[in-house]
């Protein structure tokens, strides 16, 4: 059952610029309604920023550096999108296209938190950090409430219920003190009769807990777009674009085709492009441009200064990842960490444990997923230098196996990647700001789509939603 349908059929010819998620979704939905679509895609694969790196994948960045991934069979790295929330329309496409999904572990009580600048010399486990932060904050609030400090704000029964909640939430003792909790975990886990376990000791003081800054990571898992459960396609995120490409039909997608000029004409659109070094051109009744705005802004066109200044107002952002393949899954055996994310204040920022292949022989960590200045600081390094710096950071948290078990790595920097030059974009004022009107409404016969033109920038949901809006408007006009 489809969630989205264009009712009524049309046969107009449409040229779609870009075979990322927005472009593929456009051609897929229009194709179902009878349109004759052609996608021009500059790269030799579908997906755009939806890009999964496996053994044999080769890239060349804007510095001219070529990498070929040496990952083992079954190991992969989602260089771009890597997680889907349950409400996102991306899951509807997975269902409709038959792309199997599995849980992506976005938060793990046994993953680590490490703030070096706060003086931490060893990582904390999420579960212990949460017990301590919630314990001490609820202790203070419970004591103030109990002393009557909130009597102006609370009725007697409010007060009673708040006290009940705080004692439970913080695991407070009878005297409203937080003195540690089994929620911190055990240094010896409980087992059979005679083995009650040993609760993890060394409860830090309230002052130490607040100084460590670990609490700053907790709200992430409450976010509307990041809360568990999250999902990923089995075998790699690019299962989505490949399934879309199959459904659209291979003959409708022209790879290696970079757009060189867009001309709106009296009755349609002419798009010039180059393929295999040869200048070509295609005519259509309509065009849907689903290229990144920063790349589109460099393409000559006759769509007017409103389009150009809107495109130029939208600025590219940086993000990067390194995949580290290991000869063993030591994070599972030595640390009992099965998926989830370690958060740091180091320049690697986020370290991801794999949510697939548990108990397998090998495994692949994301050694950095960083953004902005942190991503930019790794970009000019050679792949070997990036690896060395990422590993040095990881050793601080996980110890020597982070270096000694490493088999191979592959790093990807979106700002320095041809045909994208951005991980995502900043659209000042949001997509409904009047300055973007020439993009959210058609200009001549040209429509625009992309996550950057939605309220869900940096999510495939935004690309799919934007494509649905563009094809709905185009279809209405074609039928009129």
Interface residue list for ligand PHE (CB under 6 A): 83, 225, 458-459
Shortest-Cβ-distance residue relative to ligand PHE: 458
In whole angstroms, the minimum distance from the beta carbon of 77 to ligand PHE comes to: 14
In whole angstroms, the minimum distance from the beta carbon of 139 to ligand PHE comes to: 32
In whole angstroms, the minimum distance from the beta carbon of 82 to ligand PHE comes to: 7
Chain centroid to CA 410: 18
In whole angstroms, the minimum distance from the beta carbon of 218 to ligand PHE comes to: 15
In whole angstroms, the minimum distance from the beta carbon of 458 to ligand PHE comes to: 4
CB-nearer residue toward ligand PHE: 372 or 399: 372
CB-nearer residue toward ligand PHE: 141 or 366: 366
Rounded CA-CA distance 361/262 in Å is: 51
291: nearest Cα among 14, 24, 6: 24
In whole angstroms, the minimum distance from the beta carbon of 225 to ligand PHE comes to: 6
In whole angstroms, the minimum distance from the beta carbon of 357 to ligand PHE comes to: 21
In whole angstroms, the minimum distance from the beta carbon of 83 to ligand PHE comes to: 5
In whole angstroms, the minimum distance from the beta carbon of 94 to ligand PHE comes to: 16
CB-nearer residue toward ligand PHE: 30 or 346: 346
Rounded CA-CA distance 441/422 in Å is: 24
In whole angstroms, the minimum distance from the beta carbon of 264 to ligand PHE comes to: 33
Rounded CA-CA distance 437/85 in Å is: 29
CB-nearer residue toward ligand PHE: 96 or 225: 225
CB-nearer residue toward ligand PHE: 299 or 458: 458
CB-nearer residue toward ligand PHE: 402 or 459: 459
Rounded CA-CA distance 70/58 in Å is: 10
CB-nearer residue toward ligand PHE: 81 or 135: 81
CB-nearer residue toward ligand PHE: 230 or 467: 230
Q: How far is CA 378 from CA 62, 78, 131, 171, 279, in A?
A: 14, 18, 35, 43, 36
In whole angstroms, the minimum distance from the beta carbon of 227 to ligand PHE comes to: 12
Q: What are phi and psi of 386, to 5 degrees?
A: -60, -45
Q: Can you name the residues that pair with 371 across neighbouring β-strands?
A: 319
In whole angstroms, the minimum distance from the beta carbon of 378 to ligand PHE comes to: 17
CB-nearer residue toward ligand PHE: 326 or 459: 459
CB-nearer residue toward ligand PHE: 49 or 184: 49
Rounded CA-CA distance 27/311 in Å is: 23
CB-nearer residue toward ligand PHE: 92 or 225: 225
CB-nearer residue toward ligand PHE: 78 or 263: 78
Three-state SS string across the chain, please? CCCCCCCCCCCCEEEEECCEHHHHHHHHHHHHCCCEEEEECCCCCCECCCCEECCCCEEECCCCCEEECCCCCCCCEECCCCCEECCCHHHHHHHHHCCCEEEECCCCCCCEEECHHHCCCCCEEHHHHHHHHHHHHHHHHHHHHHHCCCCCCCCHHHHHHHHHHHHHHHCCCCCCCCCCCHHHCEEECCCCCCCCCEECCCCCCHHHHHHHCHHHHHHHHHCCCCCCCEEEECCCCCHHHHHHHHHHCHHHEECCEEEEEEEECCCCEEEEEEECCEEEEEEECEEEECCCHHHHCCCCECCCHHHHHHHHHCEEECEEEEEEEECCCHHHHCCCCCCEEEEECCCCEEEEECCCCCCCCCEEEEEEEEEHHHHHHHCCCCHHHHHHHHHHHHHHHHCCHHHHCEEEEEEEEHHHCCCCCCCEEECCCCCCCHHHHHHHCCECCEEECCHHHCCCCCCHHHHHHHHHHHHHHHHHHHHC
């Amino acid at each position: 059952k489809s969630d989205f349908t264009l009712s009524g059929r049309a046969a107009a010819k449409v040229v779609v610029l870009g075979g990322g998620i927005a472009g593929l979704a456009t051609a897929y939905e229009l194709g179902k309604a009878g349109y004759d679509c052609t996608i021009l895609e500059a790269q030799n694969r579908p997906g755009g920023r939806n890009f999964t790196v496996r053994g044999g994948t080769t890239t060349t960045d804007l510095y001219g550096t070529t990498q070929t991934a040496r990952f083992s069979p079954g190991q992969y790295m989602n260089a771009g999108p890597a997680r889907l929330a349950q409400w996102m329309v991306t899951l509807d496409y997975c269902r409709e296209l038959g792309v199997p999904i599995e849980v992506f572990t976005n938060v793990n009580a046994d993953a680590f938190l490490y703030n070096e600048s706060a003086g931490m010399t060893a990582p904390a486990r999420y579960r212990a950090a949460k017990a301590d932060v919630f314990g001490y904050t609820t202790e203070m609030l419970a004591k103030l409430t109990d002393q009557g400090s909130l009597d102006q704000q609370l009725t007697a029964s409010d007060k009673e219920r708040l006290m009940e909640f705080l004692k439970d939430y913080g695991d407070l003792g009878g005297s409203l003190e937080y003195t540690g909790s089994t929620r911190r975990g055990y240094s010896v886990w409980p087992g059979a009769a005679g083995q009650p376990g040993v609760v993890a000791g060394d409860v830090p003081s309230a002052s130490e807990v607040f100084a460590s800054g670990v609490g700053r990571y907790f709200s992430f898992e409450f976010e509307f777009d990041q809360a568990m459960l999250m999902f990923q396609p089995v075998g790699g995120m690019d299962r989505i674009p490949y399934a879309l490409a199959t459904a659209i039909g291979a003959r409708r997608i022209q790879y290696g085709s970079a757009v060189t000029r867009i001309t709106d004409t009296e009755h349609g659109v002419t798009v010039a492009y180059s393929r295999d070094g040869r200048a070509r051109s295609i005519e259509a009744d309509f065009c849907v441009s689903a290229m990144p705005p920063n790349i589109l802004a460099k393409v000559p066109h006759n769509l007017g200064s409103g389009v150009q200044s809107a495109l130029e107002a939208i600025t590219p952002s940086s993000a990067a990842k390194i995949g580290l393949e290991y000869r063993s899954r030591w994070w599972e055996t030595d640390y009992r960490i099965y998926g989830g994310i370690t958060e740091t204040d180091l320049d690697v920022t986020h370290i991801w444990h794999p949510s697939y292949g548990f108990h397998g022989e090998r495994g692949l960590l994301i050694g950095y997923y960083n953004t902005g200045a942190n991503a930019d600081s790794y970009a000019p390094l050679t792949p070997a230098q990036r690896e060395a710096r990422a590993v040095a950071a990881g050793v601080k948290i996980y110890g020597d196996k982070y270096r000694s078990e490493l088999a191979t790595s592959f790093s990807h920097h979106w700002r320095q990647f041809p045909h994208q030059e951005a991980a995502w974009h900043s659209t000042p004022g949001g997509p409904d700001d009047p300055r973007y009107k020439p993009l959210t409404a058609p200009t001549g016969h040209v429509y625009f789509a992309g996550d950057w033109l939605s309220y869900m920038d940096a999510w495939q949901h935004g690309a799919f939603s934007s494509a649905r809006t563009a094809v709905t408007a185009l279809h209405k006009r074609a039928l009129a």
